[in-house]
Structure 1
């Protein structure tokens, strides 16, 4: 879902038109790239699928079902394309800020297994118990700033 959100954002910035893209397309069709349908996957491989495939269908043409099915991609219904994927340095806040400022929303991976994350409610999340190597949840970064000096 984070990969699709990043693609939607990048496409909207490039075309001045927000098109809802199909998460189901990624769920069903990126399995050969190493993703696991509804059991999760990696944002990089989702992006790689879209680049190699020549696009991603719109949400209206390939709606979300909540379960994995066979791949039904139809290039006639593509709502966006991508020409490449850029990885930013892991753990680099300055690289992340630069990527968001120059390219729009960025899909990131976080450690969502700690209690402090599971019960997070608002504000800047700051926890010394999070791992920067045990990454198990994708999120979309849409902006940055500071709150109370954080």
Structure 2
């Protein structure tokens, strides 16, 4: 389940569709909670500086609660934690609306497509995927492509 703040109805429905496609693609039962907030440039710049030491606007930031998860994760994976049988908070995603709008224009596609892609990218980071290493990047790109196709 995703909890989305500062987004309109269309944005929320789109992000929920991408989340559903992401979990289906990864064969992952959804007993998780992910927080996502759509923010402005000043907010994402401050978060980027604080979290990564980079003083500039970015499109998406992900703050996972866990390191690498071995997917698919089962509820049994959280037996030794404070898991109460409900939703497990996986992390938070911040997406900059202005940057998403700019990138949509730069790449020649819709804002909805860009927002969906950034949400997908954030979900994959929250689930432990990364793109620093070239091999990992190939894996992440393949997942993003499949998820976006599934999301429509």
TM superposition score category, shorter chain reference:
under 0.3
> Which has the greater radius of gyration?
1
* Structure with the larger helix share: 2
Q: Which has the higher contact order (CA 8 A, sep 6+)?
A: 2
* Structure with the larger strand share: 2
